[in-house]
Structure 1
């Protein structure tokens, strides 16, 4: 780097650009902090000063949206779209008197029998983080779960009831989900 380039990137010039916001309660500096609910501005004098405020209004869903014309099956009051720690759900407006709630999404059926209990069916579900997985609909009796898309084809080596479709560096492959079995083959499309 030449001497002219060093002058372009001096520390004191960038320090002047950064402005700090002060705490309305104690006058100290505010800084960005992170929590489960998302980023927020918090006072640097914490725990002496407990001032904080959210960075964006999108992370807070304060008002429940009442669903006009809906009726709670338990108490016949209106239902509302609410936001909980695991996402959106539909709940009764008379909470905590009435505890009725239903999820907004239902698991998708795959039509593939559970290879472990052989009486249930694998359902496509979504975790609270948005990751898709497949589990038996007989839960909690059967706790079978896989992270890759199941294919209704028996493993030719160990005779397990399904194979899973997995993307690898070699392309898509069908793999046996049993760890003791090492069967895999390329998926023909």
Structure 2
């Protein structure tokens, strides 16, 4: 049997030690660290030095500039971009202009939000493409339904909408167990 040269396993450690540079606060090497919310770049002098930064600085990337479109706020061209919450249309003059639009038009259900009684429930999709219904007065009203709303009041508790859950009408309130086939 041949012997394993253990120095081969340590050779790349020295090469990787300065891949991310030195800490701007204390001068020690920056390394990839892990937390419950994912990897990040942090100082090797932790806990004495608390410096950290995201692993990917550019969270938003421009995929394609849309020809013959103009930003309603500044007049520059619009582009299809990908960010941390999925794809969207945004102004190419970012960060000077923060105008963004959803790629898919939000369908208005014309149902009044049962929580705030001011807004309407809009059909939206999350970054994974899952459909949900939310009040258009977000963030003041954070009412959300995961199933399509139906314009019918709950006969048991009086809540102003029911949901269509797999072919059955149900009350969306957690403390009400009303279900109609």
TM-score range, shorter chain: 0.5 to 0.7
Q: What TM-score comes out, normalization by structure 1 length?
A: 0.59
Task: Please state whether the residue corresponding to 1:81 is helix, strand or coil.
Answer: strand
Task: Please state whether the residue corresponding to 2:104 is helix, strand or coil.
Answer: coil
Superposition map of 1:34-53 within 5 A: 48=17
Q: Aligned residue pairs: how many?
A: 136
Structure 2: any 5+ residue segments left out of the alignment? 1-7, 20-59
Q: What TM-score comes out, normalization by structure 2 length?
A: 0.61
Deviating above 6 A after TM superposition, structure 1's stretches of 4 or more consecutive aligned residues are 43-46
1:173 aligns with 2:172: no
Return the offset for 1:63. 5.8
Superposition map of 1:54-65 within 5 A: 64-65=63-64
* Distance (Å, rounded) in 1 between the aligned partners of 2:99 and 2:173: 40
* Distance (Å, rounded) in 1 between the aligned partners of 2:165 and 2:141: 24
Structure 1 residues 82, 173: CA separation in 2 closer, same or farther (over 3 Å shift)?
A: same
* Distance (Å, rounded) in 2 between the aligned partners of 1:69 and 1:129: 29
1:103 equivalent in structure 2: 102
* Distance (Å, rounded) in 2 between the aligned partners of 1:179 and 1:152: 18
2:180 equivalent in structure 1: 185
1:90 aligns with 2:89: yes
* Distance (Å, rounded) in 2 between the aligned partners of 1:163 and 1:142: 18
Task: Please state whether the residue corresponding to 1:157 is helix, strand or coil.
Answer: coil
Task: Please state whether the residue corresponding to 1:104 is helix, strand or coil.
Answer: coil
Structure 1 residues 182, 92: CA separation in 2 closer, same or farther (over 3 Å shift)?
A: closer
1:75 equivalent in structure 2: 74
Return the offset for 1:92. 2.5
* Distance (Å, rounded) in 1 between the aligned partners of 2:163 and 2:174: 12
Task: Please state whether the residue corresponding to 1:164 is helix, strand or coil.
Answer: strand
Task: Please state whether the residue corresponding to 1:105 is helix, strand or coil.
Answer: coil
Q: CA RMSD in A?
A: 3.3
Task: Please state whether the residue corresponding to 1:109 is helix, strand or coil.
Answer: strand
State the structure with more CA Rg: 1
1:138 equivalent in structure 2: 137
Structure 1: any 5+ residue segments left out of the alignment? 1-26, 29-42, 51-60
